[in-house]
């Protein structure tokens, strides 16, 4: 019940969003207000199991995409690639919100977009639960066949202890710069 209410609120907010004339600043989460991601175990684009414990010890940036997306996902992947150019040493992770995305499908997606970072997939409940409960971002089935999955387009900064430290709009150049600076400071 609680999850369906939260999902309804998130979908309502997504439906009412309009891009402001001027960009809002990135959302940075400091110290005690940061929250820790729950444990997870997913498959990477090579079929290896990756758990939260494997990502501890280094800050990283998360994005949520799916391979058959024809709208915002290619843009988000391009922005992650731009971030990679700005900070070649940055650790990046793209999570697929589509349970139909197999490791092989994600490997093909990576190749198509020239991505050289980690892509993770898993059962629908696992990734969507991590997205909503862990990252506090909306994801749901869409009603438009052209956009079968509705999800957030925010890039998320995660610190070395797997705590969420910020949300950034990849379509705003100032957010990418702020993300690069915040990542360097962790």
pLDDT for 9 = 39
Distances (CA, A) of 73 to 6, 157, 161: 23, 18, 27
Instruction: Give the global pTM.
Output: 0.84
Q: Which CATH class is domain 35-185?
A: alpha beta
Query: 147 pairs with which residues across the strands?
Result: 144
| pLDDT per position as a tens digit, 114-169 | 999 999 999 878 998 999 999 999 888 777 777 778 888 999 999 999 999 999 99
Per-chain mean pLDDT for the chain:
86
Please give the residue that has the higher pLDDT: either 13 or 45.
45
Please report, for the chain, the start and end positions of each structural domain, with discontinuous segments joined by +: 35-185
* Number of Cβ within a 10 Å radius of residue 83: 23
Query: Per residue in 129-166, is it b (16+ CB within 10 Å) or e — as a string?
Result: bbbbebbebbbbeeeeeeeebbbbbbbbbbbeebbbbb
**pLDDT-derived band at 1, boundaries 50, 70, 90:** very low
Q: Taking residues 17-22, what's their average pLDDT?
A: 44
Q: Is 99 a residue whose pLDDT tops 50?
A: yes
Q: Is 173 a residue whose pLDDT tops 70?
A: yes
Question: 14-18, 25-29, 47-51 — which is least confidently predicted?
Answer: 14-18
pLDDT for 23 = 64
pLDDT for 22 = 54
Q: Is 184 a residue whose pLDDT tops 70?
A: yes
């Amino acid at each position: 019940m609680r999850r369906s209410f939260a999902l309804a609120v998130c979908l309502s907010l997504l439906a009412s969003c309009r891009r402001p004339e001027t960009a809002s600043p990135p959302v940075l989460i400091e110290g005690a207000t940061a929250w820790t991601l729950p444990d997870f175990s997913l498959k990477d684009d090579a079929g290896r199991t990756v758990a939260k414990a494997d990502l501890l010890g280094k800050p990283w940036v998360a994005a949520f995409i799916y391979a058959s997306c024809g709208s915002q996902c290619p843009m988000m992947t391009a922005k992650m690639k731009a971030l990679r150019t700005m900070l070649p040493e940055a650790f990046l992770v793209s999570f697929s919100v589509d349970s139909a995305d197999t490791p092989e499908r994600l490997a093909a997606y990576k190749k198509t977009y020239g991505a050289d970072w980690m892509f993770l997939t898993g059962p629908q409940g696992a990734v969507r639960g991590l997205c909503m409960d862990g990252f506090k971002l909306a994801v749901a089935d869409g009603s438009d066949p052209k956009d079968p999955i509705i999800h957030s387009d925010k890039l998320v900064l995660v610190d070395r202890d797997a705590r969420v430290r910020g949300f950034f709009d990849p379509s705003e150049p100032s957010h990418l710069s702020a993300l690069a600076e915040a990542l360097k400071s962790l």
